[in-house]
Structure 1
């Protein structure tokens, strides 16, 4: 019997995600990835320098386990459960990315023109990634959570601030894609 490697259909992955969210709500937990950075900084001793990191990080170890599971699950899915076929993109997307100068579109999950080690440590890469990282970190803190925290936990709990944050994420993504990205490449 040959193992068929393809993404899980929505009717399997959707209910599993709903079950995980139900369990988190049942046990009084909220899921978010950005809070783990705060926990890691606290573990490393950042609480000695600022009160923001001075909290009981041991109470957040469960969330580190969730993120570790997500990383391990992604690794297993990519290296053991994937057929490594090309990512299916619309022709319009491929043409637009080629106009920006991207090659090998759909062959990797992220464009090597931005995320290869050579690109990351180039002047252009540093000028894109350092301010981008700052804006993501600042925005995450200012919005009270990251995209996964607001879009998965916040929306499943029917929180209006999370709905507003998710709408803001989409508007920001559209502005980046259509107004800023063309100037960067």
Structure 2
């Protein structure tokens, strides 16, 4: 049973992802998590105020089931299949994070100095939560999909807009990591 608590190798995970994508393409569906927000807002009645949400949400119920499965799978993986929450990161990354006030970088999956209920109500926490939410929401809408939709489905379909979006996601991640995050961590 030890094999199940270890990360699966690429030659297992890759074909499983490819199998899901082939099945989705066969049934005429597209994979993406951000479209679920649109579906949930449509179910909640946002279409009464915003035209964007005036869609037939019943066509996307399958995707909500997919997200539910993702949440259940994540819970099972975290609670039953994760032997350790420590993350192997390089020494130079640890040194950089210590300079920014992260006490034990790599000791936990998420550093408590950033991801904790106590930090949520601080200026730093509010900027990260609200600013990040606005940027992700705007970026997802502007790019016509999220990272999973573009990087997994779009690139698999050889779509040029998805390639452009994925390149933009990586550039944005690098800018955030090297130019913005250091300032936010020192607030």
| TM-score strictly above 0.5 | yes
* Large movers: runs of 4+ above 6 Å: none
Q: Which runs of 5+ in 1 are unaligned?
A: none
What is the CA–CA distance in structure 2 between the aligned matches of 1:86 and 1:114, rounded to whole Å? 16
Q: How much does 1:50 deviate?
A: 1.2
Equivalents in 1 of 2:111, 2:145: separation in Å? 26
Give the structure-2-normalised TM-score: 0.94
Determine if contact 2:43/2:57 at 8 Å carries over to the other structure: yes
CA distance in 2 between counterparts of 1:43 and 1:57 reads 7
Q: Which residue of 1 aligns with 2:94?
A: 94
Task: Point out where structure 2 has 5 or more consecutive residues left out of the alignment.
Answer: none
CA distance in 1, matches of 2:73, 2:45: 29
After TM superposition, give the deviation of residue 115 of structure 1 in Å: 1.5
Q: Is 1:16 aligned with 2:16?
A: yes
- Which residue of structure 2 aligns with residue 152 of structure 1? 152
Summarize deviations over 1:4-30 as a string: whole Å, max 9, x none.
Answer: 421111111111011001111111110
CA shift for structure 1 position 133 = 0.6
Cα distance between partner residues in 1 of 2:149 and 2:107: 29
1:9-158 → structure 2 map (5 Å cutoff): 9-158=9-158
Q: Report the equivalent of 1:3.
A: 2
Q: Deviations over 1:139-164 (max 9, x none)?
A: 10010000001000100010000000
Cα RMSD of the aligned pairs, angstroms, is 1.2
Match of 2:165 in 1: 165
Structure-2 separation of matches of 1:15 and 1:50: 40
Quote how far apart the aligned CAs of 1:85 are.
Answer: 4.7
Structure-2 separation of matches of 1:107 and 1:74: 20
Q: Aligned pair count?
A: 184
What TM-score, normalized by structure 1, do the two folds share? 0.95
